[in-house]
Structure 1
Amino acid sequence: MHYAIDEAPSYAILEMSLDAGEKIVADGGVMTWMSNLTPTTNMSGGIMSGIKRAIGGESMFLTTYTAGAHGGTIGMAPGDPGMIVDHDLSGDLFLQKGAFLCCEEGVSTDLKFQGLRGFFNVGLLSLRLTGNGKVFFGAYGDVEAIDVDGDIIVDNGHVVAWEPSLQYELSYRRGVRNFLFGEGMMLRFHGRGRIWVQSRNPLALADFLYPYRPVKSDKN
């Protein structure tokens, strides 16, 4: 497998060349173009795993792309404008909802309950990657990798990924709106390990756009 991440960090796209018979497993909807590949879509882990992925902000379906006899190529991009991170996985890694892009066949995906984030926020689960192989994930904006040795507090909207060696606790800023809508939630990490933080917060963008939303008039 050979790959390049182009147009980074603002509008990154992953371009990948696969040798004959080589496979890559991708989230649904991330493929932008492909050549000489055979896609196979399924609910990896069964129906319940697919439903859990959907609740956690991922696609219910994963697609496996297999290269033909002469190899193949594919382009993939995340839904948010921003960076794509490549990571050599050897063990476990946690991803925030919606961050997963694709991985090699030796990596499996599952979901982990993180605790209540508010009645109207769907971010109840994080995606857990397990195994050995290359992993790619996306972010909103650019990404900074921070090596933690002690404690660090990160706004939930900026967290992209973290290593399982780090423990974490959830806390909210005061306010009913903050609790109900998952705003103002902070993650306090402690221990030794790496976290990946994105430079932009999708919740902040939603707040900015909210006053400009179309409002249906009650007038006849």
Structure 2
Amino acid sequence: MQHRTKHEPSSSLLEVTLDPGEAMLAEAGAMVARSPSLRTVVRLNAGRGAGLFGRLKAFVIALLRKLSGGETFFVNHIEAPEGGGWVWLAPPLSGRVRHVPLQGETMLFSAGSYLASAGDIDVRVRWGGLRAVLAREGIFFIEASGVGDLWITSYGAIEELPCDGSLLVDGGHLVGFDASLALEIRSPGGGLMGLMVSGEGVVCEFTGRGRVLIQSRSADALVGWLAPLLPP
């Protein structure tokens, strides 16, 4: 699918051109503008081919995210029935948009990192469990698998780190990782004192072989910097 990213690095805008018959998914609220020839339908994201149970599960997850103060996980299904067209998409924070081509592998992404996808890619919400909560990633990950184009976003720049054995990443800087990697949550070092005064909280330890995507800035750090400046 034809695409390009404009206004990099801090004000990224993704432009995708759809030929007749092509379609893509985009995170709800990401669309900036589109040609009138395209058609957009908002859907609850239950994953491709999900039956009644899958849709019910997606609805419960969306409800839990709404009650916990997060966004509900809806996507825009954008298609070009005739004549083709274009669409502009933008992330909520200042940072990069990165194209990640998938060739049959599965990747997990932090909530908020997913922007759009096209092709034979299945995107669904995956329960992260206690490890995701401790890593400040929320309760859910976004799982993407299949073959096609995937676009992700970050707060700041995106760097890819290879993991060949073991790798430590601060949870607030984690964007995504190969599902083949094992993830454990641990203290940054120094025991209880290190956990309390290091400012790092807990870190994600990855083991195995694969790639880890990180962002150069942390939204948690931004919130911590702004909080003392806000009126009570």
* Bin of the TM-score, shorter chain as denominator length: 0.7 to 0.9
Root mean square deviation of aligned Cα: 2.3
Partner of 1:184: 201
Residue 52 of structure 1: how far off its partner (Å): 2.1
4+ residue segments displaced more than 3 Å: 56-59, 172-175
Say whether residues 1:70 and 2:87 are aligned partners.
Answer: no
Show structure 1 runs of 5+ residues with no match: 216-220
Matches within 5 A, 1:31-180: 31-35=31-35, 36-45=37-46, 46-53=55-62, 55=65, 57=70, 59-89=72-102, 90-116=104-130, 123-172=138-187, 174=192
The answer as to whether partners of 1:166 and 1:193 remain within 8 angstroms in 2 is yes
Distance 1:128 1:59 in 2: 16
Partner of 1:14: helix, strand, or coil?
strand
The answer as to whether partners of 2:11 and 2:96 remain within 8 angstroms in 1 is yes
Paired amino acid for 1:139: S
Distance 2:166 2:8 in 1: 30
Distance 1:164 1:60 in 2: 21
Residues 51/185 of structure 1: CA separation in 2 closer, same or farther (3 Å cut) = farther
Residue 51 of structure 1: how far off its partner (Å): 4.2
Residues 122/137 of structure 1: CA separation in 2 closer, same or farther (3 Å cut) = closer
Distance 1:76 1:17 in 2: 11
Partner of 1:198: 215
**Could you tell me the percent identity over the aligned residues?**
28
Higher helix proportion: 2
Residue 66 of structure 1: how far off its partner (Å): 0.7
Deviation per CA, 1:18-68, whole angstroms, max 9, x where unpaired? 101210111100000000210011113224314425729554311111114
Partner of 2:230: 213
Partner of 1:39: helix, strand, or coil?
strand
Partner of 1:73: helix, strand, or coil?
strand
Residue 122 of structure 1: how far off its partner (Å): 6.9
Partner of 1:123: helix, strand, or coil?
coil
Distance 2:118 2:139 in 1: 26
Residue 115 of structure 1: how far off its partner (Å): 3.1
Show structure 2 runs of 5+ residues with no match: 47-54
Deviation per CA, 1:66-90, whole angstroms, max 9, x where unpaired? 1142110000011111001111112
Using the size of structure 2 for normalisation, the TM-score is: 0.83
